[in-house]
Amino acid sequence: MIEWLKVFHVLGLLFWMGTLLLASTTLAFYTHDVAEETARALARLQVQLLKGVGHLGAGLMIATGVVLVIITPSRLHQPWFHAKMFLVALLVVAHLIIYFRAKAIQAGRAQPRPGEWGILHGAVALLVFGILVLVLVKPF
């Protein structure tokens, strides 16, 4: 059963991170001389992606993660796990920032700022890399 939980945990990771990286990349494109209507259409796409695949992936990953911790509580005493949870919390914050900024742009309440989405994209990529190192290498 643990192996199946891990499969769905990784599947949630793929859905969640794929959506966050795609959303932040696509949002970066329309900061460069794109018509306002095009920007809103792209933001609408991002919101739909995040609502559908992104939220689903995050929920799947978090739910299976909670069950894995309940089944194997020894992880709670390992320093790498605490670091991983901190990085996951930062990913949730990045997810919320991307989602609410895309919603604001879609509604016409905000305009994309130059470099904003590139920074968010890089932050998400670094957080995922950090989580993978912590889980696979367990450096401490």
Q: What is the pLDDT of residues 60-87, one digit of tens each?
A: 999 999 999 999 999 999 999 999 999 9
* Chain-centroid distance, C-alpha 125: 9
Compute the C-alpha angle 113/118/123, nearest 5°: 120
CA 77/CA 56 separation, integer angstroms = 29
Q: Which residues contact 4 (CB under 8 A, 6 or more apart)?
A: none
Q: What is the pLDDT of residues 86-140, one digit of tens each?
A: 999 999 999 999 999 989 988 889 877 778 888 999 999 999 999 999 999 999 9
**pTM attached to this predicted model:** 0.89
The pLDDT assigned to 31 comes to: 61
2-16 burial string, b = 16+ CB within 10 Å, else e?
A: eeebeebbeebbebb
Cβ-in-10-Å burial (0-12, 13-18, 19+) of 135 comes to middle
